[in-house]
A and B are shown apart, each in its own frame.
Chain A
């Protein structure tokens, strides 16, 4: 038996790539689960086509899953893979430009036929020419070895080769010292009713592990020790799952039944799927006939005293706009979740972008102020959801909660909170007459709380508080129809003042360890990780850089202007063409500088660090 060496590493980025049908997302998910329970910090980036099964073996059909794991706290899924696992020629060709020289490539040679190569425009075999000479290449017939390993199962060729992803997972698990026990349990549950498939997959997984252990092709395995994390219970979680849990938790903390109205749309659908599983928490999910009905039903449920929520992506927000305006006018709690994706129109359904900021702020008729909360990491979606609900319920207003494709599908370890520590949200339903009318007490549905400017939420079933509300302008106080010019002016300003005055937004906190920074890097949403990683790099290189991140986009923290003005230069990286920058310039008259990419992918820390260091250098 070969002597095997174990080499220790701080961090590794692995990318699994294959055909859409090769099971790369599952492979990545399982490797992530094993890595999470091993105790590494990690961050993931799934990347898949919008087509369910694009033609096999083609470049558009390539699906990938990137995982960054380390023995310290990391912020991004990594700029470039240290290891690429390519399950076919198309996966190799599509991902090769991202792989730095010297990196490791494990490639399944099973499908490197002249026909397959021709399909993707390769006239010679890259395994035989100099294409891969700069890489450490392990060229293995994964398909063939898997089929040999599964010979006793007498599966069809097609079924046997389907397990090659488990073989690859086993091999990589050996290479990085991950246990495969969790995956064995997972496969037992997943294929509980299909014994042969179950056993074949487990056999392929183990064969992959053993292949690494015994073959001379792999002389070295690697160790990435667990990361130091604060004491507590952890789990790995994606943004969509964390957001779903946040909504359930907020419903529980407010004592309101959760009602989700939703229409399937990528990348938000998983929230609908997830919430539909939790009926025993009193969660009602309604798959509507369209986006408009989805938000309409949620608003109707809110009128009835539920926590009305609708989940969608940018195109859905466009359709819901009129109903959001109605909710602004009705002044009822409502949470609209926008999991942003590349636009305009259908755009890039499975890719990330943060170009809906101006749409959610201003994409309605009339003066229609809506609070906006943005999550900054997959696990932060949990807390951002609770915050969105807090504002919606306390201030009787629709609230936009922004996530994006990167947060939705990406994952990271999450320090699971103690539910006792979660904030309480108080609906404070109106139950009493609230106004001295002519000779008798009556109920004014638009008599505002002097502190919050919120109106009373009186739900049907409350005797004596019968009232009518609608989209027509209402008289300040009584809430009856009013076309009076001065009243409209007053109501427009009141609705604005209510949103502007939302409490609990907090100060914009700046992280500037040296205290000597003249450059501030300000971001919002999912760029938190890449900006943080880039700022770290710049600091490591000896530069003084301050970082701040906006969670509340409307209203912004009260000190935002002061913070911006206290730096010589403010850099605002965004995955759009400068939407926050436009707001900051307009609102605070500060000449912020944008750094903008709309490539459907998160920023790379290295690129961003270069930009930051350039900006520092120019000061």
Chain B
């Protein structure tokens, strides 16, 4: 449904597969899950554990790397290899792992504070380099583990423990940020929509390079209902825009609304669905301009008119592949390294 082009699964090329039938249970560790009851993280964990068997990968070649935050406990619950690292650094650690081990499927689990605040630098550089990673960014628009401070995606004016008179800061739009950082795969989905979530994850895993998936995830303790407007059956259809590659961008309960380009400003705006200017979504477009414009449709406060689905999916060589090519090229041109010759160098002399 959401995969724009059938490309097989280049993102997993080189990762050993298994013929043994896997189930969700194979990916479930013996550790008790300790998220708060009702947390949106449970749904994402279930979706990931449920969908991984479909990939048929050798379980030992899958690694989950996380930072710090509620969502970053995720690797403990997966019966794969995993590292629960330090705050914000998961993309950096995963970069070293993925760049040196092309036979691994490497996943990064992060949150809005972890990825966009303390780890913002690592996130944008992983995207720019196009390291072969799948990054799941759990966005609940709040700091959960530290008990309720505003995050870099919290709406301006938000009252939290650390902002009793309201947050002063404009939030990041993670999709806009990723597109600006030269990302080759950017998608957004919602924790409670299992079908959509799974389809996006599947496309993200299949993509070679860095795939960023923003997951709107409810923190029922510190920011309950942050995405309710998008989940509510009545309001949801009016405010949620489901992007499908190659299809006109239409939404609303009866698909009565569309999105068109304002000819004078170039930005996108809502129009009637039968407007002749309704745009067709092209995730594979080289130029990210329209994808970026789509990411700007959402109201930064209420999130009304949020597009979900794959904004952008384009091909660009992955960092680790290019690195391996240079090693191969150097070896092909100069031969394998000879340590003794290296140590002797060109200007040695002999005594005795």
Contacts and interface: CB of A to CB of B under 8 A. Distances in A.
A82 to B, nearest CB: 25
B344 interface: yes
Nearest to B82: A468
A460 B344 CA distance: 37
Contacts of A323: 86, 89
Main secondary structure of the interface of A (DSSP, over half): mixed
A389 to B, nearest CB: 14
Contacts of A417: 343
Interface stretch (A8-16, A288-296, A569-577): A288-296
B115 to A, nearest CB: 14
B76 A481 contact: yes
A233 interface: yes
Interface stretch (A96-104, A209-217, A224-232): A224-232
A297 interface: yes
B96 A298 contact: yes
A471 B86 contact: yes
A174 interface: no
A259 B327 CA distance: 12
A464 interface: yes
Contacts of A472: 84
A347 interface: no
A32 B329 CA distance: 34
Interface residues of B, number: 63
A470 B83 contact: yes
Given A304-B97, A472-B84, A282 B327 contact: yes
B327 A284 contact: yes
B336 interface: yes
B84 A471 contact: yes
Given A279-B330, A326-B85, A464-B60, A233 B349 contact: yes
B93 A419 contact: no
A283 B78 CA distance: 32
Contact of B95 (A281, A297, A460, A465): A297
B137 interface: no
Interface string B61-101: 11111001000000110111111111001011111111111
A495 B80 CA distance: 26
Given A289-B125, A292-B89, A460-B104, A284 B323 contact: yes
Contacts of A234: 348-351
B97 A292 contact: no
Contacts of A326: 85-86
Contact of A279 (B92, B326, B339, B340): B326
- Highest count of chain A CB atoms <10 Å: which of B89, B93, B98: B93
A460 B342 CA distance: 32
Interface stretch (A122-130, A197-205, A245-253): A245-253
Closest 9 CB pairs of A and B: A231-B352, A470-B84, A297-B96, A296-B92, A300-B96, A281-B337, A293-B92, A300-B93, A279-B330
Given A231-B351, A233-B344, A419-B343, 8 more contacts: A39-B351, A231-B350, A236-B347, A280-B331, A293-B89, A330-B83, A461-B101, A462-B60
Interface of A: 33, 36-37, 39, 182, 229-236, 245, 248-249, 252, 257, 259, 261, 278-284, 286, 288-290, 292-294, 296-306, 308, 322-323, 325-326, 330, 416-419, 460-472, 480-481
Interface of B: 16, 29, 31, 58-65, 68, 75-76, 78-86, 89, 91-101, 103-104, 121-122, 125, 323, 326-327, 329-331, 333-337, 339-340, 342-345, 347-352
